Chain A
């Protein structure tokens, strides 16, 4: 429920600075996902919010009250750990009720709470089991139930699904999305899985190397990435990058590179023209490339097929465009063969241009 605000949060381990000033604001009941590659500082950020790591510099505000001096127990939050962190010597019911028992709530209240929560996550028949006698997915539910039972106003998740197999992960992801709609709390969720991030988040925060690269709704980040890192990180299969040069001709602005010569649509063209450097990286998502043998050359990429990966209705083709590799998706019914050259129409609105040096979007 509360508003959480991180202000210039810095974390140092000894002399090594691993977070370089994180500024972040999370609105009421927002589902915020911190996403980024391994080692970028997601867990550290989350653990600082939880109070498990000291803040080296900066401040964390909850409803505009600074909380970084508070003990974890005084911060009114619940957390689900990557390894679940269940208490191995307590059974499921005791695990779920631990916080309530410490808070000396009346026995009847604890019992009904445990029953409710266990029913919510489907653990009713396992209440007497120890965590050691549960499967990975069941343990994950216990961790979730334990967090739910606390009734805190903030939920923190540190890669809660990463130890599950793909199918279970998909299932739990859906349940989590349902739960977050139902409980209406502030959720901060750490993951390195961009699909989890896209599907769950109200707001995605992409981190890299201890910096926030970009934040916004999943759609904003997907459609208007501010730099090459964000563009390449979100989306599956990932965005294709091709090196090219901006060329102004009488009939428009073109980006020309090894094996392609694309005309830019007017808005992009204006941006490209005003940019100082002409050396750019062109980014196109596979979803913005459509197989179309009849399209004009200036709106298309000519691709030589190298590998075809059949994944059902769609196949993912790894192709060559000049010396660069490009991934495209193609309906599996289209017959293709190795070495064949195909024409793909480029969705001109899906063209992204990045400065080759700074990797910032034009």
Chain B
């Protein structure tokens, strides 16, 4: 009797340390942030001294055009970045999914950008985008074209390009893995059925990769909402508010404007947005499972 209780408790005992660390490292700051977002809180005060203001911070943000601007930039950034990365990443995977000598080297090369620290990526691109000595403008000059004001007039486009460069490999490797796990005989059957290479992609490969692609896109989307370092290094949000994504605005609100409560409220808005995406992702997975279970059940009864 005692023994069986102990047996049942064993897994929880093993889980306990991880649970404690989770609580301290994750839930505590999260709770702190939510708690702080209801207060008018200056960095020089402890949270206890700060005045409780209820939903004021949230309401202020809701009506703040700068916040809207920042949110807009974030959404635009995330949308373009993920769209382009999906198209390029999946396209590359479809192109490179074949047995050619040297392909493994090529694949490794493609993955390199993902392995570089974000700050280094930011510095690198800032240098390349430099109006006079930067790689791009020097190149444009050399071939006799007018130079481009990369980080000024076209700042948003420039940071989008840099992000695409850095994160396309992520989509690429996941798509490649999905492609290589496709049932090869279904593709052979399609070849015999008369599908051209392009038709195989449209009718067989893409539909079968879709579950992986959707999850990949959602992961990238969640990540794109949180980018900070690269943009901080490249533009610091400027010029004006043109590249001030939410993560950057949050950090500035906390440090420059010294309004911890507002920053916390903003973080919570972002958190809710991400939560929505995550829930969407889980719901999608769950839906797939349910559908799989249902078809399995139907198969069993239909033997």
Whether A81 lies near B303 (C-beta < 8 A) is no
CB distance B192 to A77 under 8 Å?
A: yes
Total A-B pairs, Cβ < 8 A:
78
Kindly state the interface size class of chain A when it binds its partner: 20 to 34
Q: Does A99 contact B (CB under 8 A)?
A: yes
A79–B189 CB distance below 8 A: yes
A52 touches B302 (CB 8 A): no
- Does B173 touch A at the CB level, under 8 Å? no
Question: Residue A133 at the B interface, CB < 8 A?
Answer: yes
- Are the C-beta atoms of B192 and A132 separated by less than 8 Å? no
- Indicate if the CB atoms of B194 and A129 lie closer than 8 Å: no
Residues of chain A lying within 8 A (CB to CB) of residue B294: 133
Chain A positions 98 through 133: 1 when the CB is less than 8 Å from some CB of chain B, otherwise 0? 110011000000000000000000000010011011
- The interface-forming segment of B19-27, B68-76, B180-188 is B180-188
Q: Are B189 and A135 in contact (CB under 8 A)?
A: no
Q: How far is the CB of A142 from chain B (nearest CB, A)?
A: 11
Instruction: Decide if A79 touches B292 in the complex (CB within 8 Å).
Output: no
Q: Assess whether A88 is in contact with B299, with CB atoms less than 8 Å apart.
A: no
Q: In this assembly, does A280 line the interface, its C-beta being within 8 Å of a C-beta of chain B? A: no
Question: For the complex, what is the distance from the CA of A129 to the CA of B299, rounded to whole Å?
Answer: 10
Q: A86-B186, A89-B208 are in contact. Are A73 and B192 (CB under 8 A)?
A: yes
- Chain A's closest residue to B183 (CB) is A85
Q: Are B302 and A81 in contact (CB under 8 A)?
A: no
B204: min CB distance to chain A, Å? 6
- Least Cβ distance of A140 to chain B in Å? 13
Chain A residues positioned under 8 Å from B292 (CB to CB): 132
Say yes or no: is A83 at the interface (Cβ < 8 Å to chain B): yes
B213 at the A/B interface (Cβ < 8 Å)? no
**Cα–Cα, bound, A87→B207 (Å):** 10
Cβ contact within 8 Å between B296 and A50: no
How far, in whole Å, are A52 and B191 apart by their CA atoms in the complex?
Answer: 8
B190 partner residues in chain A, CB cutoff 8 A? 87, 98
CA distance A99 to B191 in the complex (A): 10
Interface residues of B in 202-229 (CB under 8 A from A): 203-204, 207-208
Closest to B303 in A: A135
B298 close to A133 (CB less than 8 A): yes
Closest A residue to B300 using CB positions: A135
Contact with B along A56-91 (1 / 0, CB 8 A): 000000000000000111000111010101111100
Known A99-B193, A102-B195: A85·B186 in contact at CB below 8 Å = yes
The answer, yes or no, to whether A29 is at the interface (CB within 8 Å) is no
Q: B208 to A72, Cβ gap below 8 A?
A: no
Cβ B195 vs Cβ A85 within 8 A: no
- Whether a CB of chain B sits under 8 angstroms from the CB of A302 is no
Q: Which B-chain residue is minimally distant from A86 (CB atoms)?
A: B186
Complex contacts, A87 vs chain B, CB 8 Å: 186, 189-190, 203-204
B10 at the interface (CB under 8 A from A): no
Q: Are B185 and A134 in contact (CB under 8 A)?
A: no
CB distance from B249 to the nearest CB of A (A): 43
Chain B residues within an 8 Å CB radius of A135: 299, 302-303
Give the CA-CA distance A265 to B50 in the complex, in Å.
115
A129 neighbours in B (Cβ, 8 Å) = 298, 302
**CB-defined contacts of A81 to chain B, threshold 8 Å:** 185, 188-189
CB-defined contacts of A79 to chain B, threshold 8 Å? 188-189, 192
The answer to whether A102 touches B204 (Cβ under 8 A) is no
Query: Least Cβ distance of A315 to chain B in Å?
Result: 33
Contact between B194 and A134 (Cβ–Cβ < 8 Å)? no
Contact B298 A50 (CB under 8 A): no
Answer yes or no: B255 CB below 8 A from chain A CBs: no
B194 touches A103 (CB 8 A): yes
Closest to A52 in B: B188
Q: How far is the CB of B227 from chain A (nearest CB, A)?
A: 34
For the complex, give the distance between the alpha carbons of A132 and B189 in Å.
Answer: 17
A-facing mask of B276-303, CB < 8 A → 1, else 0?
0000000000000000101110110011
In the assembled complex, the Cα of A99 lies from the Cα of B294 at a distance in Å of 28
A263 at the interface (CB under 8 A from B): no
Q: Is residue B199 contacting chain A, with contact meaning CB distance below 8 A?
A: yes
**Does chain B have a CB within 8 A of A5?**
no
- Interfacial chain A residues near B203, Cβ < 8 Å: 87, 98, 102
Q: Please give me the residue from chain B that is nearest to A103 by CB atom.
A: B194
Could you say which residues of chain A place their CB within 8 Å of the CB of B189? 79, 81, 85-87, 146
Chain A hits for B183, CB < 8 A: 83, 85, 88
Binary per-residue interface labels of chain A (267-299) against chain B in the complex, 1 for a CB within 8 Å, 0 otherwise = 000000000000000000000000000000000
- With A88-B208, A138-B302 known as contacts, the answer to whether A72 contacts B192 (CB < 8 A) is yes
A237–B218 Cα distance when bound, in Å, is 60
Most buried by A among B186, B193, B208: B193
Sample 15 A-B pairs with CB under 8 A, ordered by A number: A73-B191, A73-B193, A79-B188, A83-B183, A86-B186, A98-B203, A102-B193, A102-B194, A126-B302, A129-B298, A132-B296, A133-B294, A134-B302, A138-B302, A146-B189
Across the A-B interface, the 4 shortest Cβ-Cβ residue pairs: A85-B185, A99-B193, A73-B194, A85-B189
Given contacts A52-B188, A87-B204, A88-B183, 11 further A-B pairs with CB under 8 A are: A52-B191, A72-B188, A73-B194, A77-B192, A78-B192, A86-B189, A89-B208, A133-B295, A133-B298, A135-B299, A146-B193
Binding site for B on A (CB under 8 A): 50-52, 71-73, 77-79, 81, 83, 85-89, 98-99, 102-103, 126, 129-130, 132-135, 138, 146, 150
